[in-house]
Amino acid sequence: MTDLTQLDTPCLVVDRARVAANAERLISRLAALGVPLRLHVKTAKSLEAVEAVVGPGRPPITVSTLREAEQFFDGGYRDILYAVGFTPDKQARAKKLIERGAQLTLLTDSIETARAISGFRVLIEIDTDGHRAGLKPESEKLIPLANALRQSGNTVAGVMTHAGGSYDARGDAALRAIAEQERAGAVRAATRLREAGFFGGAAQAPQPIVSVGSTPTAHFAERLDGVTEVRAGVFVFFDLVMAGIGVCKVEDIALSVLTTVNGHRPDKGWTLIDAGWMALSRDRGTARQPVDQGYGLVCDIDGRPYHDLIVVETSQEHGVISHRSGGRVPELPVGTRLRILPNHACATGAQHGGYNVVEGKQEVPARWERFGGW
Amino acid sequence: MTDLTQLDTPCLVVDRARVAANAERLISRLAALGVPLRLHVKTAKSLEAVEAVVGPGRPPITVSTLREAEQFFDGGYRDILYAVGFTPDKQARAKKLIERGAQLTLLTDSIETARAISGFRVLIEIDTDGHRAGLKPESEKLIPLANALRQSGNTVAGVMTHAGGSYDARGDAALRAIAEQERAGAVRAATRLREAGFFGGAAQAPQPIVSVGSTPTAHFAERLDGVTEVRAGVFVFFDLVMAGIGVCKVEDIALSVLTTVNGHRPDKGWTLIDAGWMALSRDRGTARQPVDQGYGLVCDIDGRPYHDLIVVETSQEHGVISHRSGGRVPELPVGTRLRILPNHACATGAQHGGYNVVEGKQEVPARWERFGGW
């Protein structure tokens, strides 16, 4: 069996035991709150990785691209929510997927889109934290948008919100508050639609979808009444941004980049590695957190963190490791293998074509392929 | 023929006429200085794109990964410089390429590597600006490193330096100064090696390689005496970082991401698009320049810039367009196609599987594939 000393570096490593533990933690939490997970597959983009989270069944999933929808449909998934504002030019491709048997649900907050598309199940995007798209729960545009969707021959299937602003929340109380704000806003918008006559007719969904979620709010919500599903994705692997928010511990992070030391600059306190931004991504999500992890936190080949060693600078295929506060860097001879924990699992994963799977040890019993593109 | 209104978005667009003009500009400039280009293919990672720069011949190239070396070897290239500090664990793969007929040249600044590898042509990496790897031209470690390489059975083929610090230089005088510093440092190191008896014996290269380069220094060097080749890559496409340094004009940038408007937030002055950091990359290289271009400068479908519109924020598959100083955003209805100029062509290109080729117009006469990975 291959092990981590034999792989070509840089490459992506995933710890299957940590994925299983991360999955169990969120799924059991949501079960206790009485709401199912609709896994967001944009983080993993891998049939094998997703199966490691949800099991051999083919439960409802969330996607961020039509390519993800197509790939997971081919893998047997049928109930697919495409959770990015739809554009009319994507209709033909979406229709093809529906004709093949997908129950595809689209998303919009735009009356222009509502008037231009026809024959789809659509959620209305609700903005509960001001960070991106969506109509406010009390928006005067909400009912006209739903009417426009119906008049064009679409089914208004419910509402969806994503409190991405939770990534900037700090502390349990703030996270619980934004989770409740996300829940309440989505439920309020759905209630307004119901009061306007939606979700009641025979041609409409009898039970509207009230879809909320982000990894932080999914882990901190105290109640989810009125919510029918929770979306989350990055919890599968977790990352330094999530650890910085307090959603996970560094020890929960399942994803890392395996790299090899290729030089030293003792005059500068630098150890150089063969993982640059191409392998780690340019994501600097911890830059605005209390602890800036640079381009990633350095671990040994077994995944044990050197807590003060980070990747302080990168170019395309070079990384520079240094002590975060100018302290001494341990001796790491040329050829030493290290693992770098990522700021943002979605971004780092996207730089690679697959996962080398480990389970605590250096042996690599499996490889999971991943896809990219649109 | 497909045109830009028919492509699935987001996707990468390259203007072939601009690539040709960018190539002609640098190649003729270097010809006037009497030094050939050794194109760095890490930016394009595409046989067709590289052929558009260097023509049908198979001149010497620079690579940043063994995957690039293998892919371009398979495309007919033979003289390949792998310009990232080599590690001993990569020997078997490098040897295989040499056995197949490649003239592969490696790079190191490490005496540990020098002692651990055997049978290779190697350049010694020289640090001329303090920004990354390499020995200083006057380093006391230079001759011992060369001796160690020779004693292990390698050929010391010359020296290489990369003045990546030129990316932070501002103004013609500063750029000319760093180009001269790069040249002088490399030539000085080569001279020291020659004086120590290298490049003279029959077993050694009769003429040492003195390899310098970065896109800024290649365009600003006033003399290149003693230099035998110049490496550059990003000039093929150029980007907003290069425009910010003053190496090119915005109108020279050949690469863009085609995207579609999918929503509006009139309360915030936002226009939303279907290109997020997955399509644009997380690179924020202009953040430290006088003009911060956010995640990219917005152009219409024909590539004409809206000079005050930039992508101010991104999530994975969402981009937020706004006026850079809070001014009015023009009406861009849902479905409008736009093109986003990248901060960093290498990083944005890496997010995509190929280039949709245009030539000033909306027609797409060709597609160039690109590869990734290691």
Q: What is the CATH number of the domain that holds A290?
A: 2.40.37.20
What's the number of domains chain A is made of? 2
Whole-angstrom Cα distance, residue A213 to residue A195? 24
pLDDT value of residue B100: 98
pLDDT tens by residue, B65-78? 999 999 999 999 99
Lowest mean pLDDT among A176-185, A199-208, A302-311, B205-214: A199-208
Q: Tell me how long chain B is.
A: 374
pLDDT tens by residue, B260-302? 999 999 999 999 999 999 999 999 999 999 999 999 999 999 9
| Residue B204 located in a structural domain | yes
| Residue A29 located in a structural domain | no
Residues lower than pLDDT 50 in chain B:
none
Q: Do A44 and A138 belong together in one domain? A: yes
| Contact yes or no for A8 and B272 at CB 8 A | no
pLDDT, chain A, mean: 96
pLDDT value of residue B360: 85
Chain B residue with CA closest to A112: the answer is B334
| Residue A307 located in a structural domain | yes
Q: Do B266 and B255 form a contact (C-beta atoms < 8 A)?
A: no
B141 at the A interface (CB within 8 A)?
no
| Contact yes or no for B262 and A372 at CB 8 A | no
pLDDT value of residue B204: 54
Q: Do A302 and A192 belong together in one domain? A: no
| Residue A105 located in a structural domain | yes
Q: Do A127 and A175 form a contact (C-beta atoms < 8 A)?
A: no
Instruction: Quickly state the pLDDT bin for A1 (edges 50, 70, 90).
Output: confident
Q: Is the pLDDT of residue A205 over 80?
A: no
Q: Do A204 and A326 belong together in one domain? A: no
Q: What is the mean pLDDT of residues A48-75?
A: 98
pLDDT value of residue B207: 84
Q: Do B224 and B305 belong together in one domain? A: no
Q: Do B207 and B262 belong together in one domain? A: no
Which domain covers residue B266, as residue numbers?
A: 254-369
How far from the centroid of its chain's Cα atoms is residue A85's Cα?
17
The residue type found at B112 is E
Q: Do A343 and A201 belong together in one domain? A: no
Q: Do B179 and B96 belong together in one domain? A: yes
**pTM, rounded to two decimals:** 0.97
Q: Is the pLDDT of residue A280 over 80?
A: yes
| Contact yes or no for A316 and B113 at CB 8 A | no
| Residue B13 located in a structural domain | no
Q: Do A138 and A264 belong together in one domain? A: no
Question: How distant is the Cα of B338 from the closest Cα of chain A, in angstroms?
Answer: 14
Interstrand relation of A305-315 and A297-300 (parallel, antiparallel or unpaired): antiparallel
Whole-angstrom Cα distance, residue A62 to residue A44? 12
| Contact yes or no for A133 and B353 at CB 8 A | no
Q: Do B146 and B113 form a contact (C-beta atoms < 8 A)?
A: no
Q: Phi, psi (5° rounding) for residue B56?
A: -75, -10
Q: Do B261 and B228 belong together in one domain? A: no
All residues of chain B having their beta carbon less than 8 Å from the beta carbon of residue A301 are none
B345 three-state secondary structure: helix
Chain B residue with CA closest to A314: the answer is B132
Q: Do B326 and B217 belong together in one domain? A: no
| Residue B15 located in a structural domain | no
For the domain that residue B149 is a member of, what is the CATH number? 3.20.20.10
Lowest mean pLDDT among A80-84, A106-110, A325-329, B99-103: A325-329
Whole-angstrom Cα distance, residue A339 to residue A64? 28
Q: Do B206 and B303 belong together in one domain? A: no
| Residue A350 located in a structural domain | yes
Q: What is the mean pLDDT of residues A81-96?
A: 98
pLDDT value of residue A172: 93
Q: Do B67 and B100 belong together in one domain? A: yes
Instruction: Summarize chain A as % helix, strand, coil (round to 5).
Output: 35, 25, 40
Among A35, A46, A42, smallest CA distance to A346 is for A42
In the A/B pair of chains, how many CB contacts fall below 8 A? 150
- The B residues from 244 to 303 touching A (CB cutoff 8 Å) are 260-265, 268, 272, 274, 277-279, 281-284
Q: Is the pLDDT of residue A203 over 70?
A: no
| Residue B245 located in a structural domain | no
Domain boundary among A169, A201, A236: A236
